[in-house]
């Protein structure tokens, strides 16, 4: 049977991956929701207006929205379907994307209700990454001593009556 840690990682990976595939698709096409797509277009226009350095670099709102959407879809697919280390890499880059989006929301002064989902999913990505990177407990470890007699002493007697600190 799978450990609770494994079940948690798989559940978080699938849920987060599907969420980012969904959100990325909304940024790329109006097929899922025309209203949400139009809202994304409006939001990304305000992000580019608030950060003129993007315009100087030749990045307009369409390029920004579509590149972030494509990255979310790609990394979301990896989070959902690809096993092993690539999943952790995708997790890390999705976390970076969430931080960028949170920066954009703060830059334009959006209220919390407009970016609360990004904040929550950023926290979930962080939790998933921390759980996945934590070394797995091994059942081969020695059991803890049950009595004080079995516990090693901090001080061992050295020859000639001296006390040695270990």
CB 76 within 8 A of CB 97: no
Nearest alpha-carbon partner for 61 in 91, 80, 39: 39
Given a contact cutoff of 8 angstroms between Cβ atoms, the answer to whether 121 and 98 are in contact is: yes
Digit-coded pLDDT (tens) for 91-140: 999 999 999 999 999 999 999 999 999 999 999 999 999 998 887 665 54
Instruction: Tell me the DSSP string of 43-95.
Output: HHHHHHHH-HHHHHTT--HHHHHHHHHHHHHHHHHHHHH--SHHHHHHHHHHH
Are 64 and 47 spatial neighbours (Cβ–Cβ below 8 Å)?
yes
pTM of the model: 0.77
| Res 156 pLDDT > 60 | no
What Cα–Cα distance (Å) separates residue 55 from each residue in 11, 49, 69, 108, 142? 40, 8, 19, 16, 61
Query: If you ran DSSP here, which 8-state letter would residue 149 be given?
Result: T
- Position 166 scores a pLDDT of 56
pLDDT at 128: 93
Residue 63 CB burial class (10 angstroms; 0-12, 13-18, ≥19): middle
- The yes-or-no verdict on residue 157 having pLDDT over 70 is no
Mean pLDDT of 76-85: 93
Residue 145, pLDDT > 80, answer no
């Amino acid at each position: 049977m799978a450990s609770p840690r494994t079940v948690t990682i798989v559940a978080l990976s699938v849920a987060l991956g599907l969420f980012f595939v969904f959100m990325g698709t909304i940024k790329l096409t109006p097929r899922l929701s025309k209203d949400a797509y139009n809202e994304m277009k409006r939001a990304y226009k305000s992000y580019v207006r608030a950060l003129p350095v993007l315009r100087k670099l030749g990045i307009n709102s369409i390029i920004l929205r579509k590149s972030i959407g494509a990255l979310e879809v790609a990394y979301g697919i990896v989070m959902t379907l690809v096993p092993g280390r690539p999943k952790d890499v995708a997790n890390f880059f999705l976390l970076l994307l969430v931080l960028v989006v949170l920066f954009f929301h703060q830059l334009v002064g959006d209220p919390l209700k407009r970016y609360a989902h990004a904040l929550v999913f950023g926290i979930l990505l962080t939790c998933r990454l921390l759980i996945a990177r934590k070394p797995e407990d091994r059942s081969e470890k020695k059991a803890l001593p049950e009595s004080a007699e079995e516990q090693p002493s901090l001080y061992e007697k050295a020859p000639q009556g001296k006390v040695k600190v270990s």
